[in-house]
Amino acid sequence: DAGVIQSPRHEVTEMGQEVTLRCKPISGHDYLFWYRQTMMRGLELLIYFNNNVPIDDSGMPEDRFSAKMPNASFSTLKIQPSEPRDSAVYFCASSFGPGGGGELFFGEGSRLTVL
């Protein structure tokens, strides 16, 4: 398996623009997670899905952020409108296993810079 695939790897945009980050989880995994990493706040869980259903989105910073998982092989994280404080590395991860015992497999991340 190719692992978790994220795109784009790098995105530079201007404040106010819409940003869409994409993730393809490992086939057969039933959990999908979106994390954000910054120097100041470390790794923050934004939202996670189980069997394509959002389970906990309490980490989503505000209404400008939204995430979808239309099927088992694809998820998006959208920021509209983007702001400079959204600059971070966004990671997608997937795992398998009832009860949460399965380890997370991370993608390489999408580095977002908002000017």
Q: How far apart are CA 56 and CA 72, in angstroms?
A: 17
CB of 82 to another protein, least distance (A): 22
Rule CB under 8 A: which of 54-93 touch another protein? 55-56, 59, 91, 93
Q: How far apart are CA 113 and CA 115, in angstroms?
A: 6
The 10 Å Cβ neighbour count of residue 49 is 22
Name which position in 42, 62, 70, 71 contacts another protein (CB under 8 A).
42
Rounded to a whole number of angstroms, the distance between the first and last alpha carbons of the chain is 36
Which residues would be at the binding site for another protein (CB under 8 A)? 4, 31, 33, 35, 42-43, 45, 48, 50, 55-56, 59, 91, 93, 98-101, 103-109
